[in-house]
Amino acid sequence: MSRTGPGDETSGGGDVSGYDDGVHGLTPLYAVDALDPQEAAAAEAHLRGCAECREELVEVREAMAAAVAGEPAEPPSAALRARVMAALDDVPQLPALPAPLAPGAAVSAPAAEPAAAPVDELSRRRAQHAADDRPSAARSGGATGRRAPRRWLQGLAAAAAAVVVAGAAVTGYAALQWRDEARAAQQVAQAMTEVAGAPDAQVVDAQGGADGWGGSRVMVSRSLGEAVLVPTGVEDAPSGRTWQLWFVAGDAARPAGTFSDTGSAAVLSGAVDGAEAVAVTLEPAGGSESPTTTPVAVYPLTA
Amino acid sequence: MSGGGGTGADRERAVDPLAASMARVAAGDRDAFGEVYDAVAPKVLAVTRAVLRNPSMAEEVTQEVLLEVWRQATRYDPSAGSVAAWATTIGHRRAVDRVRSVRAREDREDRVVAGEGRVEYDEVSEQVLQHEDESRVRKALTGLTELQREAVVMAYWGGRTSTEISAQLGVPVPTVKTRLRDGLQRLRVDLARGEPAAGSAS
């Protein structure tokens, strides 16, 4: 392949086919975890809608995997294998996602409407029913994969009984508000009910979700300005660190509370406003004013 | 060139033989997980070692990653790449997070000095280019310009963001991004040519 010399180091000017034109060019950098958290969130949001970039992401990742792992210096020890196999009992598998990403996407590269687009509860149910009728590798999650969204929504009631407000680490004014736990829990329950019932409610699955952050969902109503996190499969943050939620818009990330009670739903602090996504990062205990790590999960919101 | 534009939907990717095993892993099949483990654990370990350069920490992260593969098996999407690339991506992310949190602690302790970036790059590149001589890493990286190589090594092996690289080299962020992106594109093209089914079996 005869490439034009990439020797042009001074930011490319106009000859690099618009690579600095925003989020499109972030993909290779995202593929090697070289983006700041806000940029990474933007890249993830973009990737959902851009099949070309998804393809590029895969290729860069494959290339780096092949490059670095081509010839391992020494094989992993037998002890490591034994430890991993022994630990399987302690690691429950995540249920399969109710709205399957794969079946359509695997065959036809999704164009304008990615299969993973956030959907309302109704279309989710429809997708679920359709998926139930067709045997599919992507739905081979077995018994644990049968968690129907209907049940999930009903489960909100149960979750609401054990809710806690996000922002446990917030002090002062917020802490005062927070003192009455029963009242707070009631508020969360009420918020969940309201959001779930709002005509513009969206239920968004995590994009990403590695690093101890499991298959949680975020439920958002723009008209109400409220967002609720319903955690499933979230592990406790490593000691000395905390999960922190963010409202992301453009380059900016607004803190939306820390999150420590991984078994309970939480209302995000602050209003949804123009947020394009909700993101989750691991932060030093107490939380940060802006994200300091790559998001473990991003929940892109529809406008 | 158009940034690899035309290769998208019409391009067939080799079917990853491990994908079938992953489907069984997703149903809780431990034998299948053993197959996946044997295929990907050496690759994940290679990645975590490359980033962490501390053998016991690399093993620890590799263990976490393989358990993550088990835990998230139901979420594996074959259309989003091979099982090996999926696992090594998780491994890289985790190793980088680990490195960054260690660094953040060190930064708080004021242990960062000017020029550290250059020293680090020399150290990392020595590791990458000489220690693993004859490897495909070396072959692939030697196809890059010096400046691209520096950016790619600092990012992938050094766990640095483009902002950090910019600060450490005293070069504008867009320039760093351009070098990184061009270097990664080049690697992607070279490695794809070297072995079409990169990252799957073998």
Pair A147, A95: CB distance under 8 Å = yes
Q: Give phi and psi for B47, each to the nearest 5.
A: -70, -45
Cα torsion B191, B195, B198, B201 to 10°: value is: -160
Is residue A230 situated within a structural domain? yes
Which of A207, A141, A147 shows the shortest CA–CA distance to B22?
A141
> How many contacts does A have with B, using Cβ atoms within 8 A?
288
Does residue A247 surpass a pLDDT of 50?
A: yes
Helix pair B55-71, A78-87: axis angle to 10 deg: 40
For chain B, domains (ranges, CATH) are 17-112 (1.10.1740.10), 113-202 (1.10.10.10)
pLDDT at B100: 85
Overall size of chain A counted in residues = 303
- Quick: pLDDT tens for A218-243: 888 888 788 888 777 778 888 778 88
pLDDT at B86: 93
The domain in which residue A234 lies consists of: 148-300
**Among chain A residues, CA nearest to B71:** A93
Pair A292, A283: CB distance under 8 Å = yes
Task: Reduce the secondary structure of A94-128 to three states and give it as a string.
Answer: CCCCCCCCHHHHHHCCCCCCCCCCCECHHHHHHHH
- Strands (DSSP E) contained in chain A are 202-205, 207-208, 217-221, 226-230, 241-249, 252-259, 266-267, 277-284, 297-300
Q: Say if the Cβ atoms of A29 and B1 lie within 8 Å.
A: no
Q: What is the DSSP string of A187-205?
A: HHHHHHHHHHHSTT-EEEE
A300: which residues sit within 8 A by CB, 6+ positions away? A44, A45, A48, A118, A204, A207, A276, A277
pLDDT at B39: 92
* Helix H or strand E segment including A41: helix A37-49
Is residue A175 situated within a structural domain? yes
Residue B86, CA distances (Å) to A236, B12, B82, B180 in order: 23, 18, 6, 21
Helices (H), chain B: 17-26, 30-52, 55-71, 83-108, 116-126, 136-141, 146-152, 162-169, 173-194
| Confidence band for B130, pLDDT divided at 50, 70 and 90 | low
Question: Of the given ranges (A123-137, A239-253, B3-17, B103-117), which has the lowest mean pLDDT?
Answer: A123-137
Q: Say if the Cβ atoms of B79 and A209 lie within 8 Å.
A: no
Is residue A112 situated within a structural domain? no
Does residue A28 surpass a pLDDT of 90?
A: yes
In terms of pLDDT, which residue wins out, A35 or A23?
A35
pLDDT at A249: 85
* Helix H or strand E segment including A52: helix A51-69
pLDDT at B59: 93
Is residue A214 situated within a structural domain? yes
d(CA A121, CA A203): 7
Is residue A71 situated within a structural domain? no
Helix pair A51-69, B173-194: axis angle to 10 deg: 70
| Confidence band for A215, pLDDT divided at 50, 70 and 90 | low
Q: Say if the Cβ atoms of B156 and A73 lie within 8 Å.
A: no
pLDDT at B92: 93
- Quick: pLDDT tens for A56-97: 998 998 888 887 766 556 788 999 999 999 999 888 888 876
Question: Of the given ranges (A19-33, A49-63, A184-198, B125-139), which has the lowest mean pLDDT?
Answer: B125-139
pLDDT at A14: 35
In terms of pLDDT, which residue wins out, A273 or B64?
B64
Compare CB distances from A84 to B63, B79, B198 and report the shortest one's residue: B63
Is residue A247 situated within a structural domain? yes
Tell me, rounded to whole angstroms, the distance of Cα B74 from its chain centroid.
23
| Confidence band for A147, pLDDT divided at 50, 70 and 90 | very low
Averaged pLDDT, A149-164: 42
Is residue A248 situated within a structural domain? yes
For residue A31, the chain B residues in CB contact (below 8 A) are 89, 184
The alpha carbon dihedral of B194, B182, B77, A114 has a sign of negative
Q: Which DSSP state fits A222? A: T
Does residue B16 surpass a pLDDT of 50?
A: yes
Does residue A41 surpass a pLDDT of 50?
A: yes
Does residue B144 surpass a pLDDT of 60?
A: yes
Q: What is the DSSP string of B114-158?
A: TTHHHHHHHHHHHIIIIITTTSHHHHHHTTS-HHHHHHHIIIIIT
In terms of pLDDT, which residue wins out, A232 or B47?
B47
Q: CA of B146 to nearest chain A CA: how many angstroms apart?
A: 10
Is residue A273 situated within a structural domain? yes
pLDDT above 70 as % of chain B: 73
Global ipTM = 0.81
Q: CA geometry: angle at A95 spanning A92 and A101, to 5°?
A: 140
- Quick: pLDDT tens for A83-137: 999 999 888 888 876 543 333 333 333 333 333 333 344 344 444 444 444 443 3
Q: Say if the Cβ atoms of B46 and A6 lie within 8 Å.
A: no
Pair B81, A61: CB distance under 8 Å = yes
Q: Say if the Cβ atoms of A71 and B132 lie within 8 Å.
A: yes
Does residue B173 surpass a pLDDT of 90?
A: yes
| Confidence band for B40, pLDDT divided at 50, 70 and 90 | very high
Q: Say if the Cβ atoms of A141 and B74 lie within 8 Å.
A: yes
Query: What is the residue whose two structure tokens read 């150290």?
Result: B123
Does residue B107 surpass a pLDDT of 80?
A: no
For residue A58, the chain B residues in CB contact (below 8 A) are 13, 80-81, 85
pLDDT at A216: 76
Point out which residues pair with A173 in neighbouring strands: none
Average pLDDT, chain B: 79
* Residue A90 structure tokens: 């302690």
pLDDT at B125: 62
Q: Give phi and psi for A230, each to the nearest 5.
A: -115, 100
Average pLDDT, chain A: 67
For residue A16, the chain B residues in CB contact (below 8 A) are 178, 182
Please state the domain count of chain A.
1
d(CA A296, CA A294): 6
Overall size of chain B counted in residues = 202
